[in-house]
Structure formats: C-alpha cells, structure tokens
Amino acid sequence: MNIDKLKDEYESSGSWGLLSSVDLHSCDPLLVRDEEEIKRFVRELCKKIKMKRFGETIVVNFGKDKRVAGFSMMQLIETSLISAHFVNQTNSIFLDIFSCKFYNPREVAEFAKKFFKAKSYKLNYLIRK
C-alpha cells in the first residue's frame, strides 16, 4: 500500500469516506476475552489515528453458538464508527473502521496486530463514494 497514493485518490475522488476491515488471527486469548483491554485498545487506537470518540465504547459478550461466541464492540467517532467482533473459538478479531476523515489503514492493522499479539492479519480497504 502506498499511503500517499491512497490519500491522493481519497482526496481527488470526491469520496465520502474510507472503510478498512482487518481480520486478525491467532490473537492472545486473554486479550480477546478482556472487556477492559478491548476498551483500552479503542481509546489508544482513536488517539493513534486522531479520531475523536463520541460517547463510551460499547462492549457486549454474547453468542450461544461456540463458532461465533465472544465480545462485540462498537465505538461511535465524530467521523463515523469503529466496530469489531472477537471470536473466542479461534482467537480471531474482525475489526472495521469507517470514517469520512482520512487515516492510514496499514497503521490501524499494524497497531491492532501488536496490541492483540496476533500472529497474522488480512487488511482490506475501500474508498466509499
């Protein structure tokens, strides 16, 4: 990813926003299951990408089906939304960031990988018009 090229395309295309999806695999099981650590991650991520949180982070643990059981998180930001689902069975995290303010998707993915001690991640991003 060439961040300068992405930013130029974002600014010149009349875009509405940028959506990033980060699939994190083989994360630290203790972090995946810790509500307070998830909230701390959101606070630190928002600082890192210069997004202003709107209200408190919502974290809910649910799911009767073992395949999907775990925490789900939502954080409104002044420029849109950050959300994620944390899967207990696989210690995976599916993180989405949508914002009409530009940010670096690779920076988000690398930060999340380090924070949750993931072995790997897959990043997808899309300019929304």
Give the domain 16-128 fold.
S-adenosylmethionine decarboxylase (3.60.90)
Q: How far is residue 23's CA from residue 55's CA, in Å, rounded to a whole number? A: 25
pLDDT over 90 at 1, yes or no: no
- Answer for the pair 49, 103: CB distance below 8 angstroms, yes or no: yes
Q: How far is residue 97's CA from residue 83's CA, in Å, rounded to a whole number? A: 7
Domain spans in the chain, listed from the N-terminal domain onward = 16-128
Mean pLDDT of the 40-69 span? 94
Length of the chain: 129
Give the model confidence (pLDDT) of 71-128 as tens digits: 999 999 999 999 999 999 999 999 999 999 999 999 999 999 999 999 999 999 999 9
Tokens of 54: 């709107």
In one letter, which amino acid is 77? I
pLDDT of res. 94: 98
Give the model confidence (pLDDT) of 4-35 as tens digits: 999 999 999 999 999 999 999 999 999 999 99
pLDDT of res. 84: 98
pLDDT over 90 at 67, yes or no: no
